[in-house]
A and B are shown apart, each in its own frame.
Chain A
Amino acid sequence: MNYRTLNFEKIGETLYEYEHGSGLKVFFVKKPGYNKKTAMFGTNYGSIDNTFKVQGSDKEIVVPDGIAHFLEHKLFEQEDGNMLDKFSKLGASPNAYTSFNQTVYYFSCTDLFEENFSMLLDYVQNPWLTDENVEKEKGIIAQEIRMYEDNPNWREFFNLLDCLYVNHPVKLDIAGTIESISKITKELLYDCYHTFYTPSNMVVVVVGDLIPEDVFSIVENMIKFKDRGKVEKKYPEEPAHLNKEYNEQKLVVSMPLFYLGVKDNVRVSGFELLKRRTALSIVLNDILGRSSELYNKLYNDGLINDTFRFEVSLDKAYGFVACGGQSPDPKKTAQVISGALNEAAVKGISEEAFSRILKAYQGMYVRNFNSVDNIARELTDAYFNDASYFDLGHVYEKLDISYTNKVISEVLSNQTALSVINPQ
């Protein structure tokens, strides 16, 4: 069996890579001593992929919002019963998630890995949709949507994306709306499935105390589907400017919540994406992290509390940085933060802060390898951005201050948008 072995001595980890004849890539990380084994089978298809050419035809279609997530729910259903039950019988816990750019099916188990893994590989290749089971799911997903409608953090997040993006589908709620899912049919679901669930658009990731040959030979035996060719995705042209500067919604909350964001208009992928993501994280940490002067000032002034956080969300198809939390005065707080971001775009980061924070990120990278699930998720996410999670170690070596300052000036000089949730 032909596979590659890559050793990463500094972090004491080994990665095994294998390519199945169909074009499906498989990654395995061995974790000696760990009881838990996690396997993921994912497709590079998420909520943003709502306009595409159906495989085998020339027609371009626009599908209802929330359909990728709907399909995720439906794949668990098989002609001879629900997959959730079958995994349960073997003591495994199965689940799945849909994000902006991926749908991932996974399970974790401690025993009977081969049986569970075979089942995962099998059911994802074999959807079983009926008019009746599609209808039934609408009630369940409607309640999932209703639950998120009452979740202030979820709402402030999507209200911010609505400010940042004019056209890009990243602004659409992943689960869609009750209205949009009502238009989903068995036929549309099959169109999506046949377009995006094809070996070259997918990945398998396994982490645990297993033998690489065993993992790869199960894949060899279980993968039956043939590649249907390259997926043609299409995203609308997104202007550099904001859709709007401000969004506000009233919900039952104790004090206002805010989320402030800046769009990154530069699109990169692969190693460059990991580098850019890390540079932005270090910079935001320097400006807004708990170790920053600004965090302490805002905290002491009572404008933020320890719900304050920041994120860097960078993908092949979109990118933004954001921060927020509870605040008695969101507009004033946002003004101070915007000022600090714009100022940093000109001033850059100091040598001292850069090396101190870089060291902290290296530590966090090491910590991540304590968790079988984290490793699997990070590997999958990096792969769908044409990168390898293990390259992050090299990013920490390659990243320098002049590159970081270039990224700061490209991103943080952009206009900020603000989303506020006010108490009713």
Chain B
Amino acid sequence: MGSLAGKTMVEKLTEKQGIQFYRLKSDKFNTTRVDIFFVDDLEKERASGNAILPSILKRGCGKYPSITELERKLEELYGADVGGGTLKKGEAHLIGFRMSHISDRYTFNNTRLFDECCNLLMCILESPLTEDNGFKKSVFTKERDNLINYIRSRINNKIHFSLYRCIEEMCHGEPFAIPEEGTEEDALLLTPQNTFAQYKEMIQSYPAYVYISGEVDDTSIQNFIDNFLKAGRGDIKSIKTPDVKKEISEVKRVEEGMEVNQGKLCLGFRTQIDPCSPDYYPLVVYNGILGGDTHSKLFQNVREKASLAYYAQSVLEKYKGLMIVMSGIEAENRQKAEEIILKQVEDMRKGNITKDEIDATKKSLETGMKAMQDSQGAIVDFFLSQHLTNCADDFESTAEKFRQVTIDDVVRVAQNIQLDAVYFLKPKNFKEGIA
């Protein structure tokens, strides 16, 4: 164990052509990984095109033209992982690619895995399967079908579906309402050619972040950086920052029937707070006291005291300044549950917060900040989030900002938190009084 034990540090290696390269330092992991994120604006016309890219690229590349060949190679490299996916953070649309492998010292003969795994990662990123100036048609068509099926299957998970619908209704007309996979209607407009053109835009012009973590020597890192997208960068696109302020004239109420047993209630709030602004830290503490954990007001009052629900919690969307309260309840208890939830929000506003509540929340945040550093993936996500929001704090200084939050700070941010939309997924054929 070296002097780095328990500490996690980030070092910016270089920036070239809109790509920032970072080295994450922590010497306790058994794996080495590279994470790449391309960033675009979240826009209706572009979302499906961005979302389909990782699925197409994972299907194979020049040297490994099928899933079978690619996966067999990964198995030979001690179960290495090369993959990708899409996510939204606020109104930024991220297309992520990653590679990870076990450290060389765990292989049979100290096999050098980094270079070979990076070659695979760059193969799927730089040498996709193409024909006629577009992606290979059979691959493209299958992945477009899969994307549409995926969009339709949002309905399968009722908790996620109700959350997604609440946000869609609340942010109607704002880019944030656009789901990360886009819509079926936009997916149908994709062709092998226009999707390939969007792929080239990604490679040439999207700003990108690259994180390298785990055991790897400096020469290999330098080689990787020198060769990274060597051929293809042009003018770099500039990305908008989302607007977190919104005036609310009236609370929007939406109720939808579905053949389900349990009703799902979602309440969407605007916090009016920018990530990384001084008020962000009290906001996180606010959310923790209201519905972050088992000590929270929602858990205690909706679940433990009233026995109305198994889960009752609140979650923040940091980049867009939203807070969503979610609970699964019997249809007949809808009114009662909403009243109890709003009473907790009102109590927060009035400053009915005990020292125990704020202390437990701050301790839990402190634990969270430390525990995050035990996961390579969580470390990457933390620094990506900091870089996207131009926030200079590291783990330690972020934790310090949480420590300094007082009840007064929490009550201050509570004054601006406003209910914007209420969504209820209602069990169909529900009759009052049914057992």
Contacts and interface: CB of A to CB of B under 8 A. Distances in A.
Given A84-B294, A110-B370, A143-B328, A305 B68 contact: no
Contacts of A253: 153, 155-156
B31 A370 contact: yes
A424 B75 contact: no
A33 interface: yes
Contacts of A296: 66-68
Interface in A297-327: 299-300, 302, 305-307, 326
Interface residues of A, number: 73
A307 B154 CA distance: 13
A142 B172 CA distance: 35
Contact of B75 (A92, A151, A293, A360): A360
Contacts of B5: 32-33, 209
B106 A289 contact: no
Contact of B102 (A290, A366, A372): A366
Contacts of A56: none
Interface in B290-345: 293-295, 303-304, 307-311, 328-330
Contact of B367 (A110, A136, A306, A326): A110
A78 interface: no
Contacts of B367: 91-93, 108-111
A368 to B, nearest CB: 9
Nearest to A352: B72
Contact of B142 (A136, A290, A302, A307): A302
A252 B359 CA distance: 43
A89 interface: yes
A290 B67 contact: yes
A159 to B, nearest CB: 16
B172 to A, nearest CB: 23
Interface residues of B, number: 72
Nearest to B262: A146
B152 to A, nearest CB: 4
Contact of A370 (B260, B310, B311, B376): B376
A281 B330 CA distance: 41
A357 B73 CA distance: 10
A140 B262 CA distance: 13
Given A140-B310, A302-B145, A370-B29, A360 B79 contact: yes
A32 B153 contact: no
A85 B77 CA distance: 46
Contacts of B261: 146, 149-150
Interface in A271-304: 289-293, 295-296, 299-300, 302
A302 B311 CA distance: 37
Nearest to A35: B370
A144 B370 contact: no
A371 interface: yes
Given A88-B360, A91-B367, A252-B258, A150 B79 contact: no
B363 interface: yes
Given A143-B262, A363-B79, A364-B79, A35 B307 contact: no
Interface string A346-369: 000000000011011111101101
A82 interface: yes
Contact of A366 (B106, B152, B295, B364): B106
Interface in A14-70: 31-36
A146 B328 contact: yes
A361 B152 CA distance: 34
15 contacts: A31-B28, A90-B363, A93-B293, A143-B308, A149-B261, A151-B158, A252-B258, A254-B154, A290-B71, A302-B145, A306-B55, A366-B102, A367-B30, A367-B102, A372-B374
Given A11-B106, A360-B75, 17 more contacts: A33-B4, A35-B373, A88-B293, A108-B371, A110-B370, A110-B371, A143-B310, A151-B157, A151-B158, A209-B5, A254-B154, A295-B68, A302-B142, A360-B76, A366-B78, A367-B102, A424-B259
Sorted nearest first, the 6 A-B pairs with minimum C-beta distance are A91-B363, A139-B307, A363-B78, A363-B79, A360-B79, A291-B71
Interface of A: 10-12, 31-36, 82, 84-85, 88-94, 108-111, 136-141, 143-144, 146-147, 149-152, 209, 251-255, 257, 289-293, 295-296, 299-300, 302, 305-307, 326, 356-357, 359-364, 366-367, 369-372, 424
